[in-house]
Amino acid sequence: MKRITIRDVAKEAGVSVTLVSFVMNAKRDSSGRLDCPVNPETADRVLEVASRLGYKRNFAAASLRSGRSNTIAVIPNDISNKFFAGISKCIEDKAHKLGYTVFFASSDEDGEKLGNIMEAVIAHNVDGIIVAPCTGGDAAINKVVDSKVPVVLLDRDVEGLKGVGKVLLDDVAAGKMATDLLLDEGFKKVEMISYTLGISSLSEREAGYRQAMTARGLAEKVHYTTYGLADSDVERIIRDAVARGVDAIFLPTYSLSALVLATLKKLGLKTPKDLAVVGFDESDIYSLYETTVSHIVQPLKELGEKSVEVLIDMIHGKAPESIILTPTLIKGGSTQKA
Amino acid sequence: MKRITIRDVAKEAGVSVTLVSFVMNAKRDSSGRLDCPVNPETADRVLEVASRLGYKRNFAAASLRSGRSNTIAVIPNDISNKFFAGISKCIEDKAHKLGYTVFFASSDEDGEKLGNIMEAVIAHNVDGIIVAPCTGGDAAINKVVDSKVPVVLLDRDVEGLKGVGKVLLDDVAAGKMATDLLLDEGFKKVEMISYTLGISSLSEREAGYRQAMTARGLAEKVHYTTYGLADSDVERIIRDAVARGVDAIFLPTYSLSALVLATLKKLGLKTPKDLAVVGFDESDIYSLYETTVSHIVQPLKELGEKSVEVLIDMIHGKAPESIILTPTLIKGGSTQKA
DNA sequence: TTGAAAGCGTTACCAG
DNA sequence: CTGGTAACGCTTTCAA
């Protein structure tokens, strides 16, 4: 069961390997014609022989020779994360449509691991990388950018990084939107819980919250907890907040939202009566919770597709683009003033 | 910024390319010694030069020459699916630990697309494939198996497929467990909703349900709906079931569980009072729903890790193994008889 | 429109 | 232990 090579096809079709290579790489133009400097009849014969013999291109060989691979790498922090799971699919679909294969690998919010992965994917000759940066990963990203491999930052920005594409959410607007919803409903003591992760998306959502509060002359208060260790912190924060008569709380990530809802339930507290809540990202829990929960939705499909578009444009030599997309607010019962 | 090759390293270190290749491929044994037929001092020098020059192996070249790629492909139906998102991470971690890179691509429950993806990953010289088969994908899988690429079936079995590894859940036990819980609690009219997907996991969960029912001489009833179009069906089914005095219902997938819980909420029905429920897979919603929800949990970590182990053993020439893992039952309020 | 031939960077083989 | 050299299968000049 030897593998069929371009040479086998050439021999069988009675043409040179060059011709076969041309034909196999030719894209069909709009009229369905093969667009390559080959006699159409010859081309048809080659195509027929190739499919009869079951020829499959060997990407390793093509990649070695051409330096390209038609493969892009996507490096989220955590594939199992809800936001990235959704976006990955959009990225994959779009990339396939454009003739690219996608590689996934997660950094687990670990800068060093991100570095290793970056090296690995570059060794695999990927044509470009879509990455959600994590704290401590700047050096790794810089190295890649320096080595001229196109990079698109997704979801999280890195200050002062030149030459990279960016596809981000307008996180300040998201924070403002969420906070304004609460304030418009008449809640006054609005606080926020965030992670100490040091990533742009979180700090900008916080900035949005602060802007909205100060715009109405209200006092801001943000609680911080550590990613992965938030459980006990959050319970303490919620207890304390309710005791201090806090009206409402804004959660800038899905995991915090889920955690807070669970904590409220555990403590026997009701939203919005005891504490109004605005959550982040989409999830079944927002519609299934006792009262439905207001939340900010990111345009996953656009985020995914745009990041692929920007990256592939860069691969084709275009200048890196920066795209900021707008979030949507879904109103639920958790912000309804009695 | 030319790329450093093995040849550059060889020249700089004053040795042959062969030596460099040996050193770069040598694994460190337990005592940290490089295990290869090279003088340790020479090896150290090569290592030093390689890192000083910033040498990175070119995988395309290695793969072309050796036929191996140290890469495996994972093909779930849907990366964004909760079950697979979780399992993907485990697979990735384990594979990395064993020195393999992982490729993801989803089949979207579409046999034809599965075929295309299979071809694509094979063209990329992957050493093996972990796949969750979907209806209509048997032909594609068979072709791969015939071409001697190791394949492990994950989560779903395909009857009569020889020469593949398998890592599955004991789905019959899962169905039985769920049903027995309901019956033990005293529910009698227990029904089930399933998809018309024709995949083994669902039909076995159904078999488990039927066995548990017949074992106690009770009448079985299974409703079917179509994947992706279940919303209206489910509402009708639930309305009808409650009208007929059905006690309890078993949902064999997460998506059905979420849908039924949403429907109950929408119809103003309470679990377990109006209808007891056992769901499937893990999710925040089970703990956040008004009453917590009983559900079957799959051992994600083991499923992921075992599938990698079995696959890599096959890559190393071992015979395909079949592993069946046992689910766990988490009891919640949704099955508590008043 | 066609073909010959030169590599891409590695690993495998064989000889010393 | 070490080194030369031939592939691997493809793309890409360049020339016909």
- Chains A–B, number of C-beta pairs less than 8 Å apart: 125
Q: Match 């639930």 to its residue by tokens.
A: B238
**B39 sits within 7 Å of strand D by its CB:** yes
Query: pLDDT at position B186, please?
Result: 96
Position B147 confidence tier, pLDDT thresholds 50, 70, 90 = confident
Q: What percent of chain B stands above pLDDT 70?
A: 98
Position A7 confidence tier, pLDDT thresholds 50, 70, 90 = very high
Query: pLDDT at position A1, please?
Result: 59
Taking contacts as CB-CB distances below 8 angstroms, the residues of chain A near B290 are: 290
Q: What would the two tokens of residue B89 be?
A: 């991470």
Position A146 confidence tier, pLDDT thresholds 50, 70, 90 = confident
User: Which residues between 241 and 260 in chain A have a beta carbon less than 8 angstroms from any beta carbon of chain B?
Assistant: 258
Q: What percent of chain A stands above pLDDT 90?
A: 68
Closest by CA position to B156, among listed B165, B169, B144, B143: B169
**pLDDT tens digits, residue range A249-299?**
999 999 999 999 999 999 999 999 999 999 999 999 999 998 999 999 999
Q: What is the mean pLDDT of chain B?
A: 92
> What is the distance between the alpha carbons of residues A315 and A70, in angstroms, rounded to a whole number?
10
Taking contacts as CB-CB distances below 8 angstroms, the residues of chain A near B5 are: none
**pLDDT tens digits, residue range B237-283?**
999 999 999 999 999 999 999 999 999 999 999 999 999 999 999 99
Contact positions of strand D to protein Cβ (< 7 A) = 1-5, 7-13
Inspect the interface and report whether the beta carbons of B56 and A122 lie closer than 8 Å.
Answer: yes
- Among B1, B80, B146, whose Cβ lies nearest the Cβ of A147? B1
Q: Position B164: which residue type?
A: V
Chain centroid to Cα A202, Å, comes to: 15
Query: pLDDT at position B256, please?
Result: 95
- Among B60, B80, B101, whose Cβ lies nearest the Cβ of A86? B80
Query: pLDDT at position A130, please?
Result: 96
Query: pLDDT at position A211, please?
Result: 98
Inspect the interface and report whether the beta carbons of A262 and B284 lie closer than 8 Å.
Answer: yes
- Among B101, B123, B289, whose Cβ lies nearest the Cβ of A58? B123
> What is the distance between the alpha carbons of residues A252 and A173, in angstroms, rounded to a whole number?
12
Residue B103 pLDDT > 90: no
Q: Find the closest chain B residue to A84 by CA distance.
A: B80
Residue A2 pLDDT > 80: no
Higher pLDDT, A254 or B33: A254
DSSP-derived pairing of the beta strands B294-297 and B328-330: antiparallel
Closest by CA position to B293, among listed B307, B308, B305, B283: B283
- Among A61, A283, A290, whose Cβ lies nearest the Cβ of B290? A290
Instruction: Average the pLDDT over each of A17-31, B4-18, B193-207 and give the range with the smallest value.
Output: A17-31
Cβ-based neighbour number of residue B211 at 10 Å:
16
Query: pLDDT at position B314, please?
Result: 95
Inspect the interface and report whether the beta carbons of A288 and B262 lie closer than 8 Å.
Answer: yes
Give which of A64, A112, A260 to mutate to test B binding, by max B Cβ within 10 Å.
A64
Q: What is the mean pLDDT of chain A?
A: 92
B85 to chain A, any CB pair closer than 8 A? The answer is yes
Residues by Cβ under 7 A, strand C: A 14-19, 22, 37-40, 42-43, 61, 64-65; B 3, 5-7, 17-18, 21, 24-25, 55-58, 61-62, 64-66
Residue B1 pLDDT > 80: no
Closest by CA position to B72, among listed B135, B140, B154: B154
Q: Which nucleotide is nearest to B16 (CA to C1')?
A: D3
DSSP-derived pairing of the beta strands B128-131 and A71-75: unpaired
Query: pLDDT at position B262, please?
Result: 94
**B26 sits within 7 Å of strand D by its CB:** no
C1' of D14 to CA of A39 (Å): 20
- Among B102, B124, B148, whose Cβ lies nearest the Cβ of A101? B124
Q: Match 């003088």 to its residue by tokens.
A: B39
3-state secondary structure of B168: strand
Taking contacts as CB-CB distances below 8 angstroms, the residues of chain A near B54 are: none
C1' of D3 to CA of B51 (Å): 23
Query: pLDDT at position A328, please?
Result: 98
Position B89 confidence tier, pLDDT thresholds 50, 70, 90 = confident
Query: pLDDT at position B105, please?
Result: 81
Contact positions of strand C to protein Cβ (< 7 A) = 1-5, 7-13
Query: pLDDT at position B63, please?
Result: 94
Q: Match 């849908």 to its residue by tokens.
A: B259
Residue A131 pLDDT > 80: yes
Position A125 confidence tier, pLDDT thresholds 50, 70, 90 = confident
Name the minimum distance, in Å, from the CA of B37 to any CA of chain A.
25
pTM of the model: 0.88
Please state the length of chain B. 338
Q: What percent of chain A stands above pLDDT 70?
A: 98
Is the distance from CB of B138 to CB of B164 less than 8 angstroms? Answer: no
Is the distance from CB of A153 to CB of A161 less than 8 angstroms? Answer: yes
The dihedral through the CA atoms of B247, B253, B258, B263 has a sign that is negative
**pLDDT tens digits, residue range A181-207?**
999 999 999 999 999 988 999 999 999
Q: Find the closest chain B residue to A69 by CA distance.
A: B60
Inspect the interface and report whether the beta carbons of A64 and B64 lie closer than 8 Å.
Answer: yes
A119 to chain B, any CB pair closer than 8 A? The answer is yes
**pLDDT tens digits, residue range B291-313?**
999 999 999 999 999 999 999 99
B92 to chain A, any CB pair closer than 8 A? The answer is yes
- Among B64, B69, B82, whose Cβ lies nearest the Cβ of A61? B64
Beta-bridge partners for A190: A248
Q: Find the closest chain B residue to A285 by CA distance.
A: B285
**A39 sits within 7 Å of strand D by its CB:** no
Eight-state DSSP code of residue B320: P
Inspect the interface and report whether the beta carbons of B285 and A285 lie closer than 8 Å.
Answer: yes
CA triple B32-B34-B40, angle to 5 deg: 110
Is the distance from CB of A46 to CB of A13 less than 8 angstroms? Answer: yes
Taking contacts as CB-CB distances below 8 angstroms, the residues of chain A near B105 are: 92, 101-102
Inspect the interface and report whether the beta carbons of B123 and A56 lie closer than 8 Å.
Answer: yes
Eight-state DSSP code of residue A3: P
**pLDDT tens digits, residue range A206-231?**
999 999 999 999 999 999 999 888 88
